[in-house]
Structure 1
Amino acid sequence: MRFQVRGLGARRWITFGTIVFGTLFLVIGLILAGVSVSFLTGADRARGTVVSLEWRTDHSTGTSRGSRTNNGPMAYPVVEFTPAHGTRRTFRDSTGSKPPAYEAGERVEVLYHADSPEDARINGFASLWLMPLVFGGIGLVIAGIGTGVAWATRRRP
């Protein structure tokens, strides 16, 4: 397949669009990182136990590790914990993986907010940082390519 862009104006618009698209992804990654940092700064900690693994083929409700071409089921840990001044809670982590990152019976550290313990997360890299790194990394690469092309093709006085 051959792709040809005619005219200097079209090339500039494509380059500009690439930079904007990459910057948008980078900003989304930074926002997601800020959400994780904000969650961490106000979070209480509790010990939890993975009580089961929920195998799902619908990956749209959370993030996932691994290849998108593999449509097989992924394991989402179901964790039980007791907040400092509350009743026992159970939640399904939003990050699934194949092979499973956790085993039933495994002890994990749970992060939660005292005013909303139902919004809990496992204190792990994937749960907190996978999506910010994916969006930020893709954005950085795409914006970098667009900027490099713009810099290489700029008019010299």
Structure 2
Amino acid sequence: MGARRWIVFGLIAFGALFVVVGLILAGVSVSYLTGAERAQGRVVALEWRTDHTSSSRKRRVNDEPVAHPVIEFTSKDGAPRKFEDSAGTNPPSYEVGERVEVLYRADTPEDARLNGFASLWLLPLIFGGIGLLFSGIGTVIALVTRRRS
């Protein structure tokens, strides 16, 4: 009985932590959006990369390279800027020559982002979704075991 309570508590606490992280990341995105300048940019290249995240450096079966778009835009001060988006996909989400909307802060234009779903909302949704899933599972287990006793 005591172990079950700790498992339920752990699930709910783990889920709550992930929900909080998701909310913080969503707040960062909202803050970035409200203070960002907007500019039209153009995809000038696709940087293909294979990121090895495992320590053994062995290739996994689905470890294919992903394309990170390289975007060029002109900031409000008239200076040409170039950055590589952190979100990579396979197949590529963008084509070379495609026009995109760029968000950047006037004081740090080198820290630019694409005005797209993945760049702004993917991490908050992943963390929030995982958090809600684990908290929900813990809550359901707690309610079911409480009714049985």
TM score, norm. by length of structure 2: 0.91
1:69–1:145 Cα change, 3 Å:
farther
Letter aligned with residue 102 of structure 1: Y
Computed over aligned residues only, the root mean square deviation of the Cα atoms, in angstroms, reads 1.7
Matches within 5 A, 1:115-154: 115-154=107-146
Q: Which runs of 5+ in 2 are unaligned?
A: 54-59
- Count, aligned residues: 143
Q: Secondary structure at the match of 1:85?
A: coil
Gaps of 5+ in 1: 1-7, 61-67
Secondary structure at the aligned position of 2:63 is classed as coil
CA offsets, 1:29-70, max 9 Å, x none? 11110000000000000000000000111176xxxxxxx962
The one-letter code sitting in structure 1 at the alignment partner of 2:29 is S
Q: Which residue of 2 aligns with 1:107?
A: 99
Task: Check if 1:43 corresponds to 2:45.
Answer: no
Q: Which residue of 2 aligns with 1:83?
A: 75
Which 4+ residue blocks in structure 1 deviate beyond 4 angstroms? none
AA paired with 2:136? G
Compare the two structures and name the one with the higher helix fraction. 2
CA 1:59–1:88: 2 relative to 1, 3 Å: farther
Identity %: 69
Using a 3 Å threshold, how does the CA distance of structure 1 residues 20 and 130 change in structure 2: closer, same or farther? Answer: same
- Please state how far the C-alpha of 1:84 moved relative to its aligned partner: 0.9
Amino acid at match of 1:25: F
1:18 to 8, 11, 21: 11
Partner Cα separation in structure 1 for residue 105 and residue 52 of structure 2:
25
Partners in 2 of 1:114 and 1:87 — Cα distance?
Answer: 12
> CA 1:125–1:59 in 2, change beyond 3 Å: closer, same or farther?
farther
**Where does residue 84 of structure 2 map in the other structure?**
92
